[in-house]
């Protein structure tokens, strides 16, 4: 059931990408990045439907991804390669929101939101649209550069090629779409992985440690510190928890020591026992 749910999310993500492209980007003749952008470049030289061109490019990139990224990724990518051209063809045939197309900026914003969210959902479920994000994922595996940055660089390169062939307002709106897509993609990838890091400095560190471990059901790490003013040697506590536990922990700390010094910061991802794996 878990696998089926993951594949369903990949299908939904592909539909969102196809909807953004077919309903918002392509009807406005915006310059597009990704595999669709490559297809638009090829259309200047080969008179083939954009859905067929994206299917051909996806097949080539699928082979690369299957070899380098493994069988599970290959199956998820094959699923995307199968459903995406169909979704794009359908979304490009029937305009459901023609009034949106009257405002190019609104179309660019909505299109970027759909595409960025869709790609983010697909990648979070260990898949890809079968497009240039395969290249980004392969480079990420070896270079450890964030996927959103790699996709932005690839899309800018593709747009640069299209600028030579398309000298209209679609260039400006296309750039808006690509930048916003990168932002939404990055937000989608880290959404749900964010945690709160709390650093607590108090002379009542032992009582606070017991409270965090047993009442709040979260872990704690102790640090040997020296206070700056009085130069007292004591311990500080650092704990990482979901957002929903923060207020309860702060309240309990203040009840234990009203003068406690509490520093709260956001961390985008936590890996390790108790977080990315079972305790």
pLDDT at 278 over 70: no
218 and 117, same structural domain?
A: no
Contact 57, 72 (CB under 8 A): no
List the structure tokens of 144: 């450890």
State pLDDT tens for residues 224-261: 998 888 888 889 999 988 887 888 888 888 989 998 99
As a whole number of angstroms, the distance between CA 194 and CA 187 comes to 10
Neighbours of 263 (CB within 10 A): 11
Q: Output 143-146 pairs: Cβ under 8 A, ≥24 positions apart.
A: 146/186
Q: How confident is the model at residue 3 (pLDDT cuts 50, 70, 90)?
A: confident
Contact of 10 with 80, CB cutoff 8 Å = yes
Give, as one character, the DSSP assignment of residue 145. -
Q: What is the pLDDT of residues 58-68, one digit of tens each?
A: 777 777 777 77
Q: CA angle at residue 86 from 85 to 90, to 5 degrees? A: 115
Whether residues 186 and 254 share a domain: the answer is no
Model-level pTM?
Answer: 0.63
Do 80 and 115 share a domain, yes or no? Answer: yes
> Which tokens go with 48?
């083939």
CATH code at 240? 3.30.70.120
Please count the structural domains in the chain: 2
Q: Is there a single domain that holds both residue 156 and residue 114?
A: yes
- The reported pLDDT for the residue numbered 247 is 87
Which pair of tokens denotes residue 22? 């077919």
Of 190, 206, 229, the position where a domain reaches its end is 190
Which one of 156, 173, 190 terminates a domain?
190
202 near 253, Cβ under 8 Å?
A: yes
Report the Cα–Cα distance between both ends of the chain, in Å, rounded: 24
Whether 148 and 167 share a structural domain: yes
Task: Transcribe 217-257 into DSSP letters.
Answer: ----EEEEEE-TTT--EEEEEEEEE-GGGHHHHHHHHHHH-
Q: Is 167 among the domain residues?
A: yes
Using only C-alpha atoms, the chain has a radius of gyration, in whole angstroms, of 24
């Amino acid at each position: 059931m878990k696998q089926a749910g993951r594949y369903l999310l990949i299908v939904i993500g592909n539909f969102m990408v196809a909807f953004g492209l077919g309903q918002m980007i392509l009807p406005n003749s915006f310059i597009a990045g990704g595999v669709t952008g490559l297809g638009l470049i090829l259309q200047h030289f080969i008179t083939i439907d954009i859905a067929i061109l994206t299917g051909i490019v996806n097949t080539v990139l699928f082979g690369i991804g299957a070899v380098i990224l493994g069988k599970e990724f290959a199956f998820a990518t094959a699923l995307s390669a199968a459903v995406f051209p169909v979704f794009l063809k359908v979304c490009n045939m029937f305009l459901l929101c023609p009034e949106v197309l009257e405002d190019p900026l609104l179309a660019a914003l909505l299109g970027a939101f759909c595409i960025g969210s869709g790609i983010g959902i697909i990648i979070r479920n260990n898949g890809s649209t079968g497009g240039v994000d395969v290249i980004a994922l392969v480079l990420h595996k070896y270079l450890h550069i964030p996927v959103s940055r790699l996709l932005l660089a690839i899309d800018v390169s593709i747009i640069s090629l299209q600028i030579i062939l398309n000298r209209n307002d679609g260039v400006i709106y296309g750039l808006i779409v690509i930048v916003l897509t990168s932002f939404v993609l990055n937000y989608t990838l880290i959404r749900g992985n964010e945690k709160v890091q709390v650093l607590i400095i108090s002379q009542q560190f032992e009582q606070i440690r017991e409270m965090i471990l047993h009442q709040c059901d979260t872990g704690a790490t102790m640090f040997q510190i020296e206070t700056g003013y009085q130069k007292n040697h004591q311990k500080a506590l650092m704990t990482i928890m979901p957002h929903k536990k923060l207020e309860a922990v702060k309240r309990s700390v203040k009840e234990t020591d009203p003068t406690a010094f509490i520093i709260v910061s956001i961390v985008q991802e936590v890996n390790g026992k108790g977080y990315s794996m079972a305790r």
